[in-house]
Structure 1
Amino acid sequence: MPQRLAEDRARLAELDSQILELEGALALLLSQRSVVKERLDAYRYPVLSLPNEVIAEIFVHFMPEYPACPPLGGLQSPILLTHICRLWREIAHSTPKLWRAVSLSSRNPFSLNPNNIWLGRAGCFPLAIRMNESDGCTVDASSLFAAILPYRIRCQYLELRLEHYVPYLPRIEGDFPLLKHLDLELDSEELDDKIEFSRVPMLRSARLDVFAARWIVLPWSQLTTLELHTISLQSCVPILEKVTNLSECNLGLSIHNENYIAKPPIMLPHLKSLKANGDDLMNTFLDSFTLPLLSKLDVCEKFLGPNQISSLATFISRSECKLQRLRISCIKSDPATYSAAFPSIQELTFGTDEETQLGHLMSV
């Protein structure tokens, strides 16, 4: 027993000595840690040393280019910027350009908040407003249209994709003093009367489907750019006869009569670019137009009829236009016949972006 006690006392002394050594080492490490932490705490990351105005400008370039609407969350969303740190949140909230484009839907609670938090942060900037019923809107239509009304006078770009909400469209009829572009797809005829967008002095561009073209009244002579889609040429004619200042036109046609010809041919004296496509055959498309200033034509070959070269030559002769760029999509004939027939056209393009196997570019 005395021997065991002596061994324990010796072991205890040894352990105490080791503990002292470790405590000394720990104290040294804690001291070194404190010095390193002080240096880190005193360090200002370069991005945090930038002026707030520069950070705000970086934020603006982080977003989709206006008037495209940013997503609610994730990359390119202003909401993401508010989740990084307090400084970034304050800068984002006080940068109106980040909030001037919004997609109104039930998935964006900021857009439907009673105080319109999202649009309210846009300050006095013009706005781009998008509403797409297919986005999964589950709130009542009144809330969606009520969100637009207070900001109508600042709306610069308006895009509406409506089906069941079409009857609510008359609620926003009225003044849009800054509106430059109107994009409407109605997918329904549930309207009692035509809707007039008559007080839109800045409107220059419109995109309409067949139902919107039927029910919406615009100051047509103001437009310089027009896209009509899922519509027959017969339905286009009453509108095309009114857009006398049009310089660019895009037609996505659904053919009801493949041999229809507008008589007399539609005269668009200022039109410089015409694009026309569709899934059906239309033999006489170019016979419906006289376009003296046309320099760019993009058309499906099946719109040229069985005698494509003759159809094009007759159109060019009647219009007395000087085509510089000609694009023939869905081509089945020999591209060389076009370059041989029209040597004065500077650029001939064949095929479509999707049909790369048909792609063929010739520059004369």
Structure 2
Amino acid sequence: MPFSDAINATEAAMLRRAADRARIAEIDAQILEVERSILVLRIEKDLVQKRLDSYTYPVLTLPIEITSKIFSQFLPLYPQCPPSTGLCSPTLLTHICSEWREIALATPALWRAIYLHFTKSSFWGYADNGDSESDKSYRDEQKNNLLRLWMAISGSYPLSICINSDIADIPQCLETLTLHRARWEHLHAEWISGDTPPFLYDPMPLLCQLEVLFSADRDMVTLGSAPLLRSASVTCYSVFPIILPWTQLTSLKLRGYFWEFTPILRHTVHLVHCELTLFRGGPYYGPGLDIEIQSLQSFLLMVDDTEEEDGYASNPEFLTTFILPTLHTLQIPDEFLKADFIDTLISFISKSRCALQRLYITGKRTATRAAYRRALPSIPEVSFYRLSTESVDDSNGEESESEEDASDAGGGDSETE
């Protein structure tokens, strides 16, 4: 290489290095500018974060007592039982934030209504998937631990319990539940299969409301001591299986055959509200002795059409066996009255000497509104409904889950007189 070419190459390399140094200087200047911008942003971020940290959400400024009351309104009205998980459950309140979790766990009233419908699919998030016996044992123990925790959080509050017969498959859960029966205030038990639940024989000193459903033949049960029991609902699809302290009840709902109820009703001397849902068919024993209940104010009669049996659910003499001097509300299916409906109603009202205020005729009518109106001019309110499964709600005088009968015997619109 000639000397001049070497000099030229060296100069070119020096120029490239000078350009690189200049570029590095430019990059450093840009980095410095960016770092300054980042520093400014970090300072601004810290200021904004401090403002956020200093902000307190208004709901979190409420006194704990007020928040606890709000939580109580979030759940179904006691004694209704909320679901154990998910929407409208007390456990949902523990998942919002740490403060709400502490408040929820420190509020025993949120945990006093317990829904324990055990199924083979799931319970409180523990699914039964046909695993081994050891896996099932583990799951059952976890269920029992959750139940014990729920009981502990509820403190000394009276309890509302909703269970079914599947709990018998998890003896430890049944034992845990039974240990707290002295706190049971409301009990709803659906016992579809298996032996009679043992806790029915035990004392329940706070129990004021009992709902039981039996669907299989079983030995007769005499309820254990329940001095505060005032309301009972019994459904049976076989021989009536339970003896309650009938004389102390003020509200009674029975579902079964009418001939099973007559000996019971002769003991219910303090009833204020009574609902009878009668199955079709069954033996007919005649009118029998009169049943007098001096305190009864509302008497609701219904027919259970879920069972495909022929025949009437009652007989013409059924209503006139009652003497109800303080009755003000009567609901009765038209079929109970049959062809002599006017004579039946007049005879009942005259015999009871009651000042009936509201009469609800349900089902398909066999007579016109005008006939009822002429026969019963002294009753201020006479209404006609076609009920699905529920009765008229006596608390507000409106039908529940029903549609008004849009036709009478010869056609026409529904009417309330």
2:324 to 284, 291, 296: 291
Q: Whole-Å Cα distance in 1 between the matches of residues 170 and 23 of structure 2? A: 83
Structure 1 runs not aligned, ≥5 long: none
User: Residues 308 and 260 (structure 1 numbering): CA distance in 2 closer, same or farther, change over 3 Å?
Assistant: farther
User: Residues 90 and 119 (structure 1 numbering): CA distance in 2 closer, same or farther, change over 3 Å?
Assistant: same
AA aligned to 1:45 is Y
TM superposition shift of 1:42? 1.6
SS of aligned partner of 1:309:
helix
Find out whether 1:330 has 2:363 as its counterpart.
yes
Determine if contact 2:297/2:327 at 8 Å carries over to the other structure. yes
Deviation by residue 1:159-212 (Cα, 9 ceiling, x = unmatched): 1101223x1423441211111011111211133xx3222521111110001268
Which residue does the alignment assign to 1:128? 160
TM superposition shift of 1:301? 0.9
Determine if contact 2:196/2:218 at 8 Å carries over to the other structure. no
SS of aligned partner of 2:338:
coil
Q: How does 1:102-181 map to 2 (within 5 A)?
A: 102-106=114-118, 107-108=123-124, 112-113=144-145, 116-133=148-165, 137=166, 140-165=169-194, 167-181=195-209
Structure 2 runs not aligned, ≥5 long: 1-11, 127-141, 306-310, 388-399, 407-413
SS of aligned partner of 1:177:
coil
* TM-score, scaled to structure 2: 0.78
SS of aligned partner of 2:225:
coil
Determine if contact 1:244/1:270 at 8 Å carries over to the other structure. yes
Cα RMSD (Å): 2.5
SS of aligned partner of 1:102:
strand
Deviation by residue 1:219-248 (Cα, 9 ceiling, x = unmatched): 11101110001x111111111111111111
Which residue does the alignment assign to 2:66? 54
Which residue does the alignment assign to 2:343? 310
Flag the structure with larger Rg.
Answer: 2
TM superposition shift of 1:81? 1.2
SS of aligned partner of 1:130:
strand
Which residue does the alignment assign to 1:251? 276
Determine if contact 1:128/1:156 at 8 Å carries over to the other structure. yes
TM superposition shift of 1:270? 1.6
User: Residues 44 and 5 (structure 1 numbering): CA distance in 2 closer, same or farther, change over 3 Å?
Assistant: same
Find out whether 1:319 has 2:352 as its counterpart.
yes
Find out whether 1:195 has 2:221 as its counterpart.
yes
SS of aligned partner of 1:356:
strand
SS of aligned partner of 1:160:
strand
AA aligned to 2:329 is K
The alignment-based identity, stated in percent, is 37
Q: How does 1:4-43 map to 2 (within 5 A)?
A: 7-43=19-55
AA aligned to 1:327 is Y
Q: Whole-Å Cα distance in 2 between the matches of residues 138 and 44 of structure 1? A: 45
SS of aligned partner of 2:95:
coil
* TM-score, scaled to structure 1: 0.89
Which residue does the alignment assign to 2:112? 100
AA aligned to 1:60 is S
SS of aligned partner of 2:197:
helix
TM superposition shift of 1:341? 2.2
Q: How does 1:81-92 map to 2 (within 5 A)?
A: 81-92=93-104
User: Residues 138 and 224 (structure 1 numbering): CA distance in 2 closer, same or farther, change over 3 Å?
Assistant: closer
AA aligned to 2:375 is A
User: Residues 71 and 347 (structure 1 numbering): CA distance in 2 closer, same or farther, change over 3 Å?
Assistant: same
Q: Whole-Å Cα distance in 2 between the matches of residues 91 and 213 of structure 1? A: 48
Q: Whole-Å Cα distance in 1 between the matches of residues 283 and 294 of structure 2? A: 25
AA aligned to 2:376 is F
Q: Whole-Å Cα distance in 1 between the matches of residues 292 and 368 of structure 2? A: 31
Stretches (4+) displaced over 6 A: none
SS of aligned partner of 1:274:
strand
Q: How does 1:201-212 map to 2 (within 5 A)?
A: 201-210=227-236
Of 78-87 and 258-267, deviating more is 258-267
SS of aligned partner of 1:66:
coil
Determine if contact 2:90/2:110 at 8 Å carries over to the other structure. yes
Q: Whole-Å Cα distance in 2 between the matches of residues 138 and 274 of structure 1? A: 35
Of 171-180 and 237-246, deviating more is 171-180
Q: Whole-Å Cα distance in 1 between the matches of residues 115 and 357 of structure 2? A: 39
Q: Whole-Å Cα distance in 1 between the matches of residues 238 and 226 of structure 2? A: 17
Which residue does the alignment assign to 1:358? 405
Determine if contact 1:261/1:287 at 8 Å carries over to the other structure. no
Deviation by residue 1:337-356 (Cα, 9 ceiling, x = unmatched): 22232222111221134442
User: Residues 75 and 342 (structure 1 numbering): CA distance in 2 closer, same or farther, change over 3 Å?
Assistant: same
TM superposition shift of 1:264? 2.1
TM superposition shift of 1:127? 1.0
User: Residues 318 and 257 (structure 1 numbering): CA distance in 2 closer, same or farther, change over 3 Å?
Assistant: farther
User: Residues 22 and 220 (structure 1 numbering): CA distance in 2 closer, same or farther, change over 3 Å?
Assistant: same
AA aligned to 2:222 is E
Q: Whole-Å Cα distance in 2 between the matches of residues 223 and 256 of structure 1? A: 28
Find out whether 1:341 has 2:369 as its counterpart.
no
User: Residues 317 and 27 (structure 1 numbering): CA distance in 2 closer, same or farther, change over 3 Å?
Assistant: same
